[in-house]
Amino acid sequence: MGLLSFIKEAGEKLFGGSEAKAATPDQLKKAVDDLGLQADGLDIKVDGDKVTISGKAKSTADAEKIALAVGNTQGIASVENNLDVEEVAVEAVFYTVVKGDTLWKIAETQYGNGKGAKYTVIFEANRPLLSHPDKIYPGQLLRIPPLD
């Protein structure tokens, strides 16, 4: 899957994590578990602000969501996603939210003018990481799946 870059200062604040320091592997695993995301043999290693994840995910989407769940936490600048995948699919494009963005606006820029209503595709592709379409924040990395 490769290396994903994140804005170290942005993201969810996990207990033990801060702008200067990433959360521990156990805290990151708990965050993944709390979202209901799973990978067999999930292993998380933290080296400063870089995290490496490995194990076996059911799908490409699940592997991407696990990487986002880990990376969209404060103190993490990059995630090396080494998860193996059972059901391989086309990888999503990743987009970093900027101030003033909405999912509608992101859909318009990523899918083309007149396709703002496809924001629901982006929202669903990022569940359970997103609980509501209006709850995105600058610096957050989102999955932008291809349209069918």
Domain that holds residue 117: 93-144
CB atoms within 10 A of CB 86: 12
The answer on 68 and 97 residing in a single domain is no
- The predicted-structure confidence for 10-47, as pLDDT tens digits, reads as follows 877 776 666 668 889 999 999 999 999 999 999 999 99
The answer on 79 and 19 residing in a single domain is yes
- In the chain, the DSSP E strands lie at 2-5, 39-47, 50-59, 78-87, 93-96, 141-144
pLDDT for res 18: 62
Mean pLDDT (the chain) is 93
pLDDT for res 7: 84
CB within 8 Å of 55: residues ≥ 6 apart: 39, 40, 41, 42, 43, 83, 84
The answer on 51 and 25 residing in a single domain is yes
- The predicted-structure confidence for 42-63, as pLDDT tens digits, reads as follows 999 999 999 999 999 999 999 9
pLDDT for res 58: 96
CATH of the domain at 44: 3.30.1340
**Burial profile 10-43: b = 16 or more Cβ within 10 angstroms, e = fewer:** bbeebeebeeeebbebebbbebbeeeebebeebe
The answer on 50 and 103 residing in a single domain is no
The answer on 24 and 56 residing in a single domain is yes
